[in-house]
Amino acid sequence: MSNETLENLFAMDDVPAFDPAFRAGVMRAVARRRFLVELAVLACASVVLLIVLLASGDALATAAAQMLSSLDTAGATLVIAGGVAFLGHALVTRAISLPRRVFS
């Protein structure tokens, strides 16, 4: 039996050269796998964050207490900064019509 005869026999069993259904199946499985991997990464990150928060609980409580005690100064600074920003924005966008000098 020649090489050619064997090759022809084998060729009869070949699957199609282009099979969109097969490709779609593979890509669906890839999308599913990607989703699971991302989900696993997110779950790991959440667990790590939770552990860090639990471990640094005391330090965070101290920092929060210090921040509350200095809130008076910080609050006033924030109100002034916000007011300046609002007025500046209104002036630039002409939301407030200021009196203008008219040249006759």
Partner 1 sequence: MQPARTDADLVSASLAGSDAAFSRLVDRHQQALRSFLRRVSGNDADADELAQEVFLAAWTKLRLLRSPDMFRSWLFGMAWRMSKTFKRSAARRRARDEAWHELQPQEQVPTNDLRLALNRALESLPLDQRAAVALCLAGGWTHDEASRALEIPLGTVKSHVSRGRARLEALLGDAHEQ
Give the one residue of 7, 97, 101, 102 binding partner 1; rule: CB under 8 A: 7
Within 12-70, residue ranges assigned H as helices are: 20-55, 57-69
Q: Does 51 bind partner 1 (CB under 8 A)?
A: no
- State how far the alpha carbon of 84 is from the alpha carbons of 32, 38, 87, in Å: 51, 44, 5
Secondary structure of the chain: what % helix, strand, coil (to 5)? 80, 0, 20
End-to-end CA distance of the chain: 110
Q: Rounded to the nearest whole angstrom, what is the least distance from the CB of residue 6 to partner 1 in the complex?
A: 6
Q: Does 4 bind partner 1 (CB under 8 A)?
A: no
> What is the rounded distance in angstroms from the CA atom of residue 48 to the CA atom of residue 51?
5
Q: Does 15 bind partner 1 (CB under 8 A)?
A: yes
Scanning 27-35, 45-53, 75-83, 85-93 for contacts with partner 1 by CB under 8 A, the matching segment is 27-35
Q: How many residues contact partner 1, by CB under 8 A?
A: 23
Tell me which residues touch partner 1 (CB under 8 A). 1, 3, 6-7, 9-10, 12-19, 22-23, 25-27, 29-31, 33
